[in-house]
């Protein structure tokens, strides 16, 4: 296209033509094509995988069971909780920092709906800032909350009624437990 002068010793003139740029153009076109094919291939694969997951959800052969956990409202804790094996019963120690001593008078659990607390055989007094066995342990109270199948998930919703020693009012607290039946 334009003539360029080579500043060499002999002052030669060299004219560049389109043919001189063909290898560079070919390499650039090939790079653009490769990038677009790879990008569109990845996009197609991701879209196909998404559509497949809509119609064929993968169910793992061994569903992941969350680790032992206990979720309670503010002021309460579960310093110890566990499924007691194939009996379906649970062991539960409650801690509380509500500002007053309390007495736990009822307890209920259910895996599928909101639990309704039933009276405990032995109400359990818990001083403010302390823990006490509410189910099993030293309490003498036994409640079945979990399936009686070894290895099964135990995820009951719980509710317990308590009397606040400061006000004399009866209240109900709700929570969630999670464990695996040993």
- Please tell me which residue, 39 or 78, carries the higher pLDDT value: 78
Examine the domain organization and report whether 92 and 135 are in the same domain: yes
Bridge partners, residue 135, by sequence: 92
Range among 62-76, 81-95, 99-113, 144-158 with highest mean pLDDT value:
99-113
Q: How confident is the model at residue 62 (pLDDT cuts 50, 70, 90)?
A: very low
Q: How far is CA 118 from CA 29, 30, 123, 158, 180, in A?
A: 77, 75, 11, 11, 24
Examine the domain organization and report whether 168 and 85 are in the same domain: yes
DSSP annotation of 31: H
Q: How far is CA 46 from CA 39, 42, 43, 136, in A?
A: 11, 6, 5, 52
102 domain residue, yes or no: yes
pLDDT value at position 49?
A: 63
27 domain residue, yes or no: yes
Examine the domain organization and report whether 49 and 82 are in the same domain: no
Examine the domain organization and report whether 125 and 167 are in the same domain: yes
130 domain residue, yes or no: yes
pLDDT exceeds 60 at position 74: yes
- Please tell me which residue, 131 or 40, carries the higher pLDDT value: 131
Q: How far is CA 60 from CA 64, 93, 110, 148, 181, in A?
A: 8, 34, 26, 23, 20
Examine the domain organization and report whether 22 and 44 are in the same domain: yes
Examine the domain organization and report whether 22 and 108 are in the same domain: no
What's the domain range around 114? 69-180
Total domains in the chain come to 2
Question: What's the whole-model pTM score?
Answer: 0.63
Examine the domain organization and report whether 169 and 104 are in the same domain: yes
């Amino acid at each position: 296209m334009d003539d360029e002068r080579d500043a060499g010793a002999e002052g030669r003139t060299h004219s560049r033509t389109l043919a001189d740029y063909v290898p560079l153009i070919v390499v650039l076109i090939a790079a653009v094509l490769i990038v677009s094919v790879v990008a569109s291939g990845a996009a197609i694969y991701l879209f196909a995988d998404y559509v497949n997951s809509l119609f064929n959800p993968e169910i793992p052969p061994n569903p992941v069971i969350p680790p032992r956990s206990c979720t309670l409202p503010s002021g309460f804790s579960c310093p110890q909780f566990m499924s007691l094996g194939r009996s379906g019963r649970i062991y539960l120690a409650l801690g509380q920092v509500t500002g007053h001593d309390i007495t736990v008078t009822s307890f209920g659990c259910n895996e599928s709906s909101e639990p309704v607390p039933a009276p405990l055989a032995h109400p359990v007094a818990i001083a403010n800032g302390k823990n006490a066995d509410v189910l099993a342990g030293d309490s003498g109270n036994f409640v079945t909350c979990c399936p009686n199948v070894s290895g099964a998930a135990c995820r009951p919703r719980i509710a317990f009624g308590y009397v606040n020693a400061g006000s004399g009012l009866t209240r109900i607290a709700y929570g969630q437990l999670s464990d695996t039946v040993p």
